[in-house]
Structure 1
Amino acid sequence: MKDLLFILIVLFMNPLQSQDLLIPTFLEKWENSKTYLVDIAEAMPAEKYDFKPTERQKGFQDQLLHIKSNMDWLSSTYFGRQLSDKNRGNNSKLTKEETIKLLIDGFDGVSAILKKIPSNVLSEKVEFFAGEKSKLQILNLLQDHVTHHRGQLIVYLNLNNIAPPKYVGW
């Protein structure tokens, strides 16, 4: 207990040291998020990749590609990630395997760029359509967006009588 108290005191007294934990902590959660989403993508049969609960909703594959597109946009716009040509273009005729590969590439691209930036960059303010935000807020948005759409995909699986994969958290 004394060791834990000492660590907490040191972290609160030295905000730069605690800030150095932000990116590694995010990356650990990000990797688990990737694993869980890929498991969900794998669980849906290829012939159901166009399934959508209602006409006004995105199909299963479209949700996955939307998640990937958002990762690309946020990581390139706010963290300087360079996107290759394979990250752009028409994805409407992709197979299940190609879609999952793109999704993994999106997660890995975010991880790669974040491993190259110092934690102090996260306090920088940027212009965002919802007003000025810190890069830390953009980082949180990356994860929140994945979580939001992943929840929808779990419903898609359930509506097809497919048991969702076991949750992978921290």
Structure 2
Amino acid sequence: MYSCWVVLLIKLNIMKEQLLTTLENAKNYTLSVAAAMPRDAYDFKPADAIWTFNELLHHIGYGIYWWEENFIKQKESDWNPPAITAGKDETTAYLTGAFRALKESIGNIAPGDNGIKGFYATMDHITHHRGQATVYLRCKGITPPEYTY
């Protein structure tokens, strides 16, 4: 018969595996959306009053860092985005780094921890803006990558 600690460790590992799977899907789909926009169209925006595609993807990346810091690590920080990344390669690298940092933070989440709520809030923010990015693609006549879950 398993001790309470063994059962807790098994549940913790299952929870982290589920979080990591969710994160991997979000990362892969977000980077697929980023890859679908041609390099010379990263400055595209469907209307004057909104972000360019590049600015939108940079916002997703910074949002990952900010939500992770405030709601997963529980370290209060001001909203203070860095300068916008310049173009497809730099923006994709920034997004990749943000997803990598978030993956590392998941390793420190414990069952019942508020960091789990922070993780799902981060995923919600990514999904919200990634949905906008797919509309940008459609405005350029590009079919977005098929959504996978």
TM-score range, shorter chain: 0.7 to 0.9
Does the aligned pair in 1 maintain the 2:36–2:142 contact within 8 Å?
A: yes
Q: State the shift of 1:19 in Å.
A: 5.2
SS at match of 1:56: coil
Aligned equivalent of 1:62: 55
Q: State the shift of 1:48 in Å.
A: 1.1
Aligned equivalent of 2:110: 119
More off after superposition, 20-29 vs 38-47: 20-29
Q: Which runs of 5+ in 2 are unaligned?
A: 1-6, 76-80
Q: What TM-score, normalized by structure 2, do the two folds share?
A: 0.81
Q: State the shift of 1:136 in Å.
A: 2.2
Q: State the shift of 1:95 in Å.
A: 2.3
What do the CA deviations read for 1:75-110 (whole angstroms, capped 9, x no partner)? 12233399xxxxx73225x12111001101100110
Instruction: Confirm whether residue 52 of structure 1 aligns to residue 32 of structure 2.
Output: no
Instruction: Tell me the amino acid that sits aligned with residue 126 of structure 2.
Output: V
Cα distance in 1 for residues equivalent to 2:109 and 2:139: 43
Cα distance in 1 for residues equivalent to 2:28 and 2:137: 17
What do the CA deviations read for 1:60-85 (whole angstroms, capped 9, x no partner)? 11111111111101112233399xxx
Identical columns (%): 29
Q: Which runs of 5+ in 1 are unaligned?
A: 1-13, 83-87, 125-133
Instruction: Tell me the amino acid that sits aligned with residue 111 of structure 1.
Output: K
More off after superposition, 19-28 vs 96-105: 19-28
RMSD in angstroms over aligned alpha carbons?
2.3
Q: What TM-score, normalized by structure 1, do the two folds share?
A: 0.72
Does the aligned pair in 2 maintain the 1:50–1:61 contact within 8 Å?
A: yes
Cα distance in 2 for residues equivalent to 1:40 and 1:33: 11
